[in-house]
């Protein structure tokens, strides 16, 4: 989940839909029966030199390959969920998404992700054991492709500490960007090694857009995925497809280099070519909320541009508007807070320009109005919540969207608190942006 990043993200579990679609276009040339020592030994031996050639990196030691039953994989996932930092953050992060209306209030997120990974997984590389696991009974063409994909992760692990992604706390947007590099490289290099030299996007019929479309069309074959909220679906797909597009740009602009020493720091840098590759890199701003009165902060993190885009789309159902409204994101920070009347959420976003902040303020205001079914808002001319605040009370909540400035930067604040909670107003002027 790195948006809703899977607590077991360290497993690098490749989604079945993506593997099936890409394998169909990438012409798996490997034999169906394993030969030599261990399961799938011939496939590993065939894939290793092609992956080394495509990446420009040499395996220090090819990983061992073992098979596991689907029940064993489920048990392994459950153990990993219990141990990972993502799992520890899961309850709080899901409370934030519920507060934003991104997932249903009744959703058991932990169970959903276990079910999703169990449904989709056919193989994974475990950086702790340094073993590549393949699920028993996986179709030969899928098993062959997944081995190539996970071999890239094994190679990454020899040059970059994959487990370090699980130890990052309080910056899920940065983790998601790093995961996009890792999954995107695995997708890109596995396809490149399978189809040979040339532009991967040009040699895939329809490119990444066609793959994304076919994933949507084939959701019916994966009932758990098909029934998952948009947020969950999109954050699972993002690292593979948007990450592969990032790696296409990286290999074009920096041939012969690996991205590990200069990783992108935000999903903005994954989404926008100029944000990472431009003459002046668009680094994310650090946003810090001021101390609160009448409330206790229980969890802090950020959404990033990609999840901000998903938030707008969830409530407005306007893809172009959501993309436009999230563009110009500079940084953000939210705090999930406890009050005597229940939980609340405070979210401050910093923007690249006043124009982009104004556009986001308008769209975010529309989004929260639709979420709560409010047809009109009241304009607050001034006072504690800031000039031009749009505020209302509905469904037992006191909600406001406020625009202002902090440290010379345009800032927009969403406040969603229980009605009657004695929480002091968030002073935008005391938000730190640097």
Segment 96-139, tens digit of pLDDT: 999 999 999 999 998 998 888 888 788 889 888 999 999 988 88
> What's the rounded Cα separation, in Å, for the pair 424 and 295?
8
| 75 within domain boundaries | yes
| 3 within domain boundaries | no
Show the beta-strand stretches assigned E in 15-117.
64-68
Tell me: do 222 and 171 sit in the same domain. yes
- Taking alpha carbons only, the member of 107, 250, 75 closest to residue 180 is 250
Instruction: Tokens for 370, please give them.
Output: 């639709």
Tell me: do 248 and 331 sit in the same domain. no
User: Which of 271, 302, 328 lies at the terminal end of a domain, its last residue?
Assistant: 271
Tell me: do 223 and 99 sit in the same domain. yes
pLDDT attached to residue 42:
86
Which helix (H) or strand (E) segment is 331 a member of?
strand 329-339
| 16 within domain boundaries | yes
Tell me: do 165 and 126 sit in the same domain. yes
Tell me: do 122 and 216 sit in the same domain. yes
Residue 429's domain comprises 287-433
- Statement: the pTM of the whole predicted model exceeds 0.75: yes
Q: What separation in angstroms does the CA of 328 have from each of 222, 269, 305, 351, 429? A: 35, 12, 8, 6, 20
Tell me: do 111 and 179 sit in the same domain. yes
Instruction: Give DSSP secondary structure letters for 218-244.
Output: TGGG-HHHHTS-HHHHHHHHHHHHHHH
pLDDT attached to residue 215:
63
pLDDT attached to residue 194:
72
| 1 within domain boundaries | no
| 84 within domain boundaries | yes
| 175 within domain boundaries | yes
User: Which of 245, 271, 297 lies at the terminal end of a domain, its last residue?
Assistant: 271
391, β-bridge pairs: 378, 400
pLDDT attached to residue 405:
95
pLDDT attached to residue 34:
36
Instruction: Tokens for 316, please give them.
Output: 């407005």
Tell me: do 324 and 257 sit in the same domain. no
- Taking alpha carbons only, the member of 301, 370, 303 closest to residue 336 is 301
Tell me: do 221 and 326 sit in the same domain. no
Tell me: do 245 and 341 sit in the same domain. no
Tell me: do 253 and 297 sit in the same domain. no
pLDDT attached to residue 38:
61
Low pLDDT (below 70) residues in the chain: 1-39, 84-88, 166, 196-208, 211-212, 214-220, 375-388
> What's the rounded Cα separation, in Å, for the pair 310 and 159?
33
Tell me: do 105 and 204 sit in the same domain. yes
pLDDT attached to residue 433:
97
Domain count, the chain: 2
> What's the rounded Cα separation, in Å, for the pair 123 and 104?
30
| 21 within domain boundaries | yes
| 252 within domain boundaries | yes
Tell me: do 197 and 223 sit in the same domain. yes
User: Which of 271, 298, 320 lies at the terminal end of a domain, its last residue?
Assistant: 271
């Amino acid at each position: 989940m790195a948006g809703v990043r899977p607590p077991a993200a360290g497993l690098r579990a490749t989604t079945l839909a993506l593997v099936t679609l890409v394998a169909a276009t990438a012409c798996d040339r490997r034999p169906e029966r394993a030969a030599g020592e261990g399961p799938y030994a011939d496939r590993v031996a065939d894939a290793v030199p092609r992956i080394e050639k495509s990446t420009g990196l040499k395996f220090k030691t090819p990983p061992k390959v073992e098979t596991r039953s689907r029940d064993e994989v489920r048990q392994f996932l459950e153990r990993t969920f219990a141990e990972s930092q993502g799992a520890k953050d899961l309850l709080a992060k899901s409370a934030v998404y519920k507060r934003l209306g991104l997932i249903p209030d009744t959703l058991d997120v932990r169970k959903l992700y276990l079910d999703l990974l169990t449904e989709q997984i056919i193989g994974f590389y475990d950086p702790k054991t340094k073993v590549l696991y393949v699920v028993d009974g996986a179709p030969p063409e899928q098993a062959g492709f997944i081995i190539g994909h996970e071999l890239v992760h094994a190679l990454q692990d020899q040059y970059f500490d994959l487990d370090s992604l699980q130890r990052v706390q309080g910056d899920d947007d940065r983790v998601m960007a790093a995961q996009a590099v890792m999954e995107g490289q695995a997708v890109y290099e596995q396809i490149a090694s399978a189809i040979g030299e040339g532009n991967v996007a040009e040699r895939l019929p329809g490119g990444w857009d066609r793959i994304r479309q076919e994933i949507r069309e084939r959701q019916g074959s994966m009932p758990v995925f098909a029934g998952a909220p948009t947020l969950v679906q999109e954050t699972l797909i993002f690292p593979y497809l948007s990450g592969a597009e990032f790696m296409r740009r990286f290999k074009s602009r920096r041939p012969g280099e690996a991205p590990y020493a200069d990783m992108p720091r935000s999903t903005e840098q994954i989404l926008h070519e100029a944000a990472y590759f431009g003459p002046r890199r668009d680094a994310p701003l650090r946003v810090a909320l001021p101390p609160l009165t009448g409330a206790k902060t229980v969890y802090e993190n950020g959404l990033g541009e990609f999840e901000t885009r998903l938030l707008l789309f969830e409530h407005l159902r306007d893809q172009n508007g959501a993309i436009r409204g999230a563009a110009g994101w500079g940084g953000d920070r939210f705090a999930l807070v406890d009050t005597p009347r229940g939980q609340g959420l405070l979210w401050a976003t910093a923007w690249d320009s006043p124009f982009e902040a104004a556009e986001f303020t308008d769209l975010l205001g529309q989004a929260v109005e639709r979420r709560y079914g409010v047809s009109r808002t009241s304009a607050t001319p001034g006072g504690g919540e800031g000039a031009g605040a749009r505020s209302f009370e509905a469904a037992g909540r006191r909600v406001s969207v406020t625009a202002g400035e902090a440290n010379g930067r345009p800032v927009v604040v969403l406040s969603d608190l229980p009605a009657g909670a004695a929480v002091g107003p968030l002073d935008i002027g005391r938000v730190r942006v640097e």
